[in-house]
């Protein structure tokens, strides 16, 4: 398989993409890939800087005749979202991704592919590696921890940068030129568990919800896909209304910026209520199938009775508080743009529910292209916390990127696209966090766009990258650099 990638077009881009896939690089685990990037630059005599956060900056002079043109920053993030199918045995901390090719698509066996943003990093490396491309001075910026809150970009020291233009290579549609994005923040609620002894004549059982598509909590939030954590809370709410029950644990999702595909809980119910439980599960399976038949056609609700002592259970107050919390936290699109058809202004994704160390933690990713709507979400979450007496926390607050009325880089990219492909590109905004917002705030006046090849089902094990689209985007990037002034 390695040899096959080395013979794919575009040359070097997919070769570097394969090499990146062999280095574990989940968010928070970027030491090895950061060192590899540093070695790449050193081996080629390029100026390189690695900071204490593992961000990497690599500089390359302009080609003959282009040395004195304005510097172009090429930027991408080295980390990836680590998601796998439930039946896939894989260690993201130590194992290389197992890449496969099916026709025009590259994917990974049972896991996320990491094309977000490995393909962007690979294109920047191909520019830095090249000896025959025409380009102005280049500053390649490779940031860490983008997927968990853009903290690499937030901590990046930009004092040594000279770039006037920035091309971020982190979008997923080759017909689009991105010119603005949403800001966001991670919000956490924690509930301290109070336990009691299990009553007599109660049965321990496990319920799981699976089969949902999931996806990126910004890019896919308008697709109406079910959130497994939210669906689980609805099922548990119905159960507690019909019978005596106590939670033991509840969990779902693994990334707050990925729509959760699966959720599980362990609980106890009165043994006499087994038949009633079956009726509730069948009823809610019918509800969810009707609600999400188009977006998630294979939703499963499964039940298994567990012959386990289950001696320590949550008391009723804790059980109610956990279910109430997940039920009342806003989820999905919260407001839509009046100017851009189909574009969300604000949203929230209940990405992770976890029971560990005597606490239930619920983590959400809130997004908004309007600061006041982000504040509204935060204020709503604080009000929920006050009412349910949770421990409230926020992290990774990052700014949005506003559309600039004047952008020579955007106009140059539009003309270049039309000349190359004979059609107009789509100039778009996106409801997701892009590091342009942070870098534009750090470097006032920076002229920015974002581009990228077609990537599908990002942040899920179905993620796949189009080879022909990668070739198209690579040609687009090369032409922008060759003709920019």
- Asked if residue 170 and residue 50 are part of one domain, the reply reads yes
Q: Among the three residues 347, 372, 398, which one is the final residue of a domain in this structure? A: 398
Q: Among the three residues 398, 418, 436, which one is the final residue of a domain in this structure? A: 398
How far the first Cα of the chain sits from its last, in Å, is 40
In Å, what is the CA distance from 364 to each residue of 148, 215, 430? 11, 15, 19
- Asked if residue 335 and residue 192 are part of one domain, the reply reads yes
- Asked if residue 340 and residue 235 are part of one domain, the reply reads yes
The residue behind tokens 């937030």 is: 154
Predicted TM-score (pTM) of the model is 0.76
CATH number of 225's domain: 3.30.70.360
Catalytic residue selected from 30, 79, 145, 457: 79
The answer to whether 264 touches 246, Cβ cutoff 8 Å, is no
State the Cα angle at 299 between 84 and 109, rounded to 5°: 25
CATH number of 132's domain: 3.40.630.10
Catalytic residue selected from 19, 139, 146, 331: 146
Region of 145 please: left (phi>0), alpha (psi -120 to 50) or beta.
Answer: left
The residue behind tokens 């191909």 is: 126
- Asked if residue 445 and residue 361 are part of one domain, the reply reads no
- Asked if residue 190 and residue 176 are part of one domain, the reply reads no
- Asked if residue 321 and residue 294 are part of one domain, the reply reads yes
Q: Which residues of the chain register pLDDT less than 50?
A: none
- Asked if residue 109 and residue 49 are part of one domain, the reply reads yes
Burial degree of 340 (CB within 10 A; 0-12, 13-18, 19+): middle
Question: Is 376 annotated in the active site?
Answer: no
- Asked if residue 417 and residue 364 are part of one domain, the reply reads no
pLDDT of residue 416: 98
Q: What are the backbone dihedrals phi and psi of residue 132, each rounded to the nearest 5 degrees, phi first?
A: -120, -5
- Asked if residue 97 and residue 14 are part of one domain, the reply reads yes
Q: What are the backbone dihedrals phi and psi of residue 15, each rounded to the nearest 5 degrees, phi first?
A: -65, -45
- In this structure, what token pair is assigned to residue 404? 């600039």
Distance between CA atoms of residues 451 and 446, nearest Å: 16
What crossing angle do the helices spanning 408-421 and 467-483 adopt, rounded to 10°? 120
What is the count of structural domains for the chain? 2
Q: Which tens digits make up the pLDDT trace of 14-36? A: 999 999 999 999 999 999 999 99
- Asked if residue 222 and residue 177 are part of one domain, the reply reads no
pLDDT of residue 148: 84
pLDDT of residue 324: 98
- Is beta strand 72-77 parallel, antiparallel or unpaired with respect to 138-143? parallel
- Asked if residue 260 and residue 146 are part of one domain, the reply reads no
What's the domain range around 470?
2-182+400-483
- Is beta strand 359-368 parallel, antiparallel or unpaired with respect to 258-259? unpaired
- Asked if residue 87 and residue 7 are part of one domain, the reply reads yes
Distance between CA atoms of residues 161 and 55, nearest Å: 14
Sign of CA dihedral 477, 478, 483, 485: positive
Question: Is 426 annotated in the active site?
Answer: no
Output the 3-class SS for the chain: CHHHHHCCCCCCHHHHHHHHHCCCCECCCCHHHHHHHHHHHHHCCCEEEECCCCCEEEEECCCCCCCCCCCEEEEEECCECCCECCCCCCCCCCCCCCEEEECCEEEECCECCCHHHHHHHHHHHHHHHCCCCCCCCEEEEEECCCCCCCHHHHHCCCCCCCCCEEEECCCCCCCEEEEEECEEEEEEEEEECCEEECCCCEEEEEEEEECCCCEECCCCHHHCCCCHHHHHHHHHHHHHHHCCEEEEEEEECCCCCEECCCEEEEEEEEHHHHHHHHHHHHHHHHHHHHHHCCCCCCCEEEEEEECCCCCEEECHHHHHHHHHHHHHCCCEEEEECCCCCCCEEEEEEEEEEEEECCEEEEEEEEEECCHHHHHHHHHHHHHHHHHHCCEEEEEEEECCECCCCCCHHHHHHHHHHHHHHCCCCEEEEECCCCCHHHHHHHCCCCEEEECCCCEECCCCCCCEEEHHHHHHHHHHHHHHHHHCC
pLDDT of residue 1: 63
Q: Among the three residues 350, 378, 398, which one is the final residue of a domain in this structure? A: 398
């Amino acid at each position: 398989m390695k040899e096959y990638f080395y013979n794919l077009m575009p040359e070097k881009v997919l070769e570097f993409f394969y090499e990146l896939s062999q280095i574990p690089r989940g968010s928070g685990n970027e030491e090895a890939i950061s060192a590899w990037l540093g070695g790449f630059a050193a081996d080629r005599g390029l100026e390189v800087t690695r900071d204490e956060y593992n961000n990497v900056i690599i500089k390359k002079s302009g080609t003959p005749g282009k040395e004195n043109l304005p510097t172009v920053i090429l930027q991408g993030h080295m980390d990836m979202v680590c998601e796998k199918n439930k039946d896939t045995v894989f260690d993201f901390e130590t194992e290389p991704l197992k890449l496969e090719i099916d026709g025009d698509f590259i994917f990974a066996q049972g896991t996320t592919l990491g094309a977000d943003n490995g393909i962007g990093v690979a294109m920047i490396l191909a520019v830095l590696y090249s000896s025959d491309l025409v380009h102005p001075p280049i500053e390649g910026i490779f940031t860490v921890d983008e997927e968990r809150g853009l903290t690499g970009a937030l901590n990046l020291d930009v004092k040594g940068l000279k770039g006037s233009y920035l091309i971020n290579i982190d979008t997923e549609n080759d017909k689009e030129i991105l010119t603005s994005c949403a800001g966001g923040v991670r919000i956490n609620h924690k509930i301290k568990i109070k336990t009691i002894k299990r009553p007599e004549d109660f049965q321990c059982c496990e319920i799981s919800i699976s089969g949902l598509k999931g996806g990126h909590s910004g890019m896919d939030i308008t697709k109406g896909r079910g959130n497994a954590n939210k669906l689980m809370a609805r099922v548990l709410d119905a159960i507690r209304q019909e019978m005596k029950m106590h939670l033991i644990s509840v969990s779902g999702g693994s990334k707050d910026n990925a729509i959760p595909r699966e959720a599980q809980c362990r609980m106890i119910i009165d043994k006499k209520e087994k038949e009633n439980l079956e009726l509730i599960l069948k009823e809610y399976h019918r509800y969810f199938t009707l609600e999400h038949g188009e977006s998630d056609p294979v939703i499963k609700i499964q039940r298994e009775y567990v012959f386990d002592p289950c001696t320590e259970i949550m008391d009723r107050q804790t059980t109610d508080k956990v279910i109430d919390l997940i039920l009342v936290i806003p989820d999905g699109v919260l407001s839509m743009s009046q100017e851009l058809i189909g574009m969300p202004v604000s949203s929230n994704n209940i990405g992770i529910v976890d029971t560990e160390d005597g606490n239930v933690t619920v983590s959400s990713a809130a997004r908004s292209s309007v600061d006041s709507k982000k504040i509204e979400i935060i204020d709503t979450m604080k009000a929920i916390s006050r009412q349910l007496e949770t421990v409230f926390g926020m992290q990774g607050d990052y700014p949005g990127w506003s559309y600039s009325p004047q952008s020579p880089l955007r106009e140059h990219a539009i003309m270049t696209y039309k000349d190359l492909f004979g059609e107009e590109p789509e100039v778009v905004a996106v409801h997701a966090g892009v590091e342009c917002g942070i870098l534009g705030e750090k470097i006032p006046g920076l002229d920015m766009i974002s581009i990228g090849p077609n990537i599908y089902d990002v942040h899920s094990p179905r993620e796949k990258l189009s080879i022909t689209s990668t070739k198209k985007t690579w040609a687009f990037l090369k032409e922008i650099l060759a003709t920019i002034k």
